[in-house]
Structure 1
Amino acid sequence: MDTVRHKWVWVLGSLLILVWTAFPVLWIVMLSFKQPGEVGNNPGFFPKKWTWENYETVFKTDLFTSALINSIGISLIATLVGVTFATLVAYAIARLEFPGKRLILSFALAIAMFPVVSLVGPLFDLWRNIGLYDTWLGLIIPYISFALPLAIWTLSAFFREIPWEMEQAAQVDGATSWQAFRKVIVPLAAPGVFTAAILTFFFCWNDFVFGISLTSTSDARPVPAALAFFTGESFFEQPTTAICAAAVVVTVPVVIIVLLFQRRIVAGLTSGAVKG
């Protein structure tokens, strides 16, 4: 009896958490299908008349389309470069013995915990002086800097789990150290590499602070920052429904990635934590 009661408590608790977390997302989706004049006049959850007008407005707005291209390009480049560097650093930390190895890991963790807001001011001045302000590179560099520590921690735990004998066996068969790393170690650590890439991409895709502070035009402004300047189809109507439609469009890729690769993400996080 206690077991059944305990089970139902967990089920009800899980449902409450699911409703609590999913309701804001569903509310934004419903708002995105409402007509602009319906906000404030229709307090109901569902639209009176469903419309795709807001999504058409979003994709007709140069501010959003250029920001979407910026977010995709910047996030992919930062993820590729960050994971590549993190893989090399994590391998060195896991396999090699050298002075200051623990200090490097501690320093990486300190960077990950450092408040982003405290760096915006100095970066703003520095980027303006050296010409990186309002450029893709001006966002890619800080994205990589903050995404690297988490990727290094995740990947170093994976590399520690891979038996050293497998790399030695590849070298005995004639492979160089680089070939053994590229053809043996990296494929075995693929779940960790994939997890690090997903986490890095999410960090870059969702960033608002750097995007709003280090850009001033649509040349490099990402989507989260561009939404703050979104006005809808005209300046004389409430942009709430259009902003919600834009938010849904931005959220869809993240949801698709999580649904498609949730097993790899969970496996990567749990496996990497076994000996971390």
Structure 2
Amino acid sequence: MRARYLGIAAIVVYCLAPFYWMLVSSLRRTNDIFDSSPWPSPLSFESYTAAFAPGNGFLRALLNSFIVAGVTTALVLLFATLAAYALARVEFRFKNAVLALIIATSMFPGISLLVPLLRLFSDIGWINTYQAMIVPNMGAVLPLAVWNLTAFFRQMPHELEEAAQIDGCTQGQAFIRVILPVAAPGVFTTAIITFIAAWNEFIIALSVVNRQELKTAPVITSQFTGTSRFDSPFGTQMAAGVIVTIPLVILVLLFQRRIVAGLTAGGVK
């Protein structure tokens, strides 16, 4: 038992060590940024002040990230929920082949799609727009969302819909009033995965947007420059990294409470 806990502790330390060092580095003074001490002394918030300097555009970039990630998550949940429910409940030929094809589309590396996307977006006038970032994000995350929700819906008993239809609900009403509330844990888990993926997306956002006021937080963070515009402001980048990570941590904690509420209680209701 002790070895198990030691193994878990080692994994936790291994996973959290980079984030801890990022936090510590963000709290150092610029002159102490390469100090190897485990805690900054003295504490300094100059990196956070520099991150929110008016010329950096970091605050607007955070808003852009919320817009892109929020819209992507909402649209992915809408389409993935409907598609997954149909794949889980409707019987038709080659259904497994369709599922395999859906998940196979997510295996293409994003960089291989960059040139075709740039050509397409240039032709239709989508360069420097929010949809140029949202649509590729949806394409990257939607297959995984459909796959996860399909497996989740398959585990739900058909008797839930049958009982609702006996009580007078149509199939659509049974889906909205009965199935979706019971499926909330799976939907919330998919929402977390989708939001994190859209929030952290970098390559597409860097390539299809060059207007400062439309860039997302990861892009702005990578483009921070020092006083000479040739040095790398590591402290400022670390501070921005901490700020960008905080919404994800809060989101996971909030949704985790809903997930822990349990699937069984929803089925009994």
Fold shared per TM-score above 0.5? yes
2:208 corresponding residue in structure 1: 214
- In structure 1, which of residues 183, 191, 198 is the aligned counterpart of residue 185 of structure 2? 191
- CA shift, 1:16, in A, is 1.9
- Residue by residue, what CA displacement relative to the aligned partner does 1:236-276 show, whole Å, maximum 9, x if unpaired? 765110110000000011112223333656899x99xxxxx
2:134 corresponding residue in structure 1: 140
C-alpha contact (below 8 Å) 2:84/2:149 kept by paired residues: yes
- Residue by residue, what CA displacement relative to the aligned partner does 1:187-232 show, whole Å, maximum 9, x if unpaired? 1111111111111001101111112122112243211122111125
Structure 1 residue runs of 4 or more that deviate by more than 6 Å after TM superposition: none
- In structure 1, which of residues 54, 57, 77 is the aligned counterpart of residue 50 of structure 2? 57
1:83 aligns with 2:62: no
| Cα distance in 1, alignment partners of residues 57 and 21 from structure 2 | 24
SS in 1 for 2:214: coil
SS in 2 for 1:46: coil
C-alpha contact (below 8 Å) 1:135/1:219 kept by paired residues: no
- Taking the TM superposition and a 5 Å limit, the aligned residue runs for 1:64-143 are 64-143=58-137
After superposing the two structures, state which structure 1 stretch, 75-84 or 142-151, moved more. 142-151
C-alpha contact (below 8 Å) 2:58/2:220 kept by paired residues: yes
| Cα distance in 2, alignment partners of residues 26 and 160 from structure 1 | 40
1:48 aligns with 2:59: no
| Cα distance in 1, alignment partners of residues 51 and 228 from structure 2 | 11
C-alpha contact (below 8 Å) 1:57/1:232 kept by paired residues: no
| Cα distance in 1, alignment partners of residues 113 and 261 from structure 2 | 33
C-alpha contact (below 8 Å) 2:84/2:150 kept by paired residues: yes
| Cα distance in 2, alignment partners of residues 259 and 119 from structure 1 | 34
CA RMSD of aligned residues (A): 2.2
Structure 1 residue runs without a partner (length 5+): 1-6, 272-276
C-alpha contact (below 8 Å) 1:66/1:218 kept by paired residues: no
Distance 1:127 1:15, change over 3 A: same
SS in 1 for 2:28: coil
Q: Tell me the matched-pair count.
A: 263
- CA shift, 1:100, in A, is 3.0
2:246 corresponding residue in structure 1: 252
- CA shift, 1:233, in A, is 6.6
2:267 corresponding residue in structure 1: none
C-alpha contact (below 8 Å) 1:36/1:237 kept by paired residues: no
| Cα distance in 1, alignment partners of residues 226 and 98 from structure 2 | 47
C-alpha contact (below 8 Å) 2:57/2:213 kept by paired residues: no
After superposing the two structures, state which structure 1 stretch, 259-268 or 190-199, moved more. 259-268
1:169 corresponding residue in structure 2: 163
1:274 corresponding residue in structure 2: none
- Taking the TM superposition and a 5 Å limit, the aligned residue runs for 1:217-232 are 217-231=211-225
Structure 2 residue runs without a partner (length 5+): 265-269
2:146 corresponding residue in structure 1: 152
Distance 1:121 1:236, change over 3 A: closer
- Taking the TM superposition and a 5 Å limit, the aligned residue runs for 1:200-211 are 200-211=194-205
- CA shift, 1:103, in A, is 2.0
| Cα distance in 2, alignment partners of residues 144 and 265 from structure 1 | 23
Letter in 1 for 2:207: S
Distance 1:171 1:71, change over 3 A: same
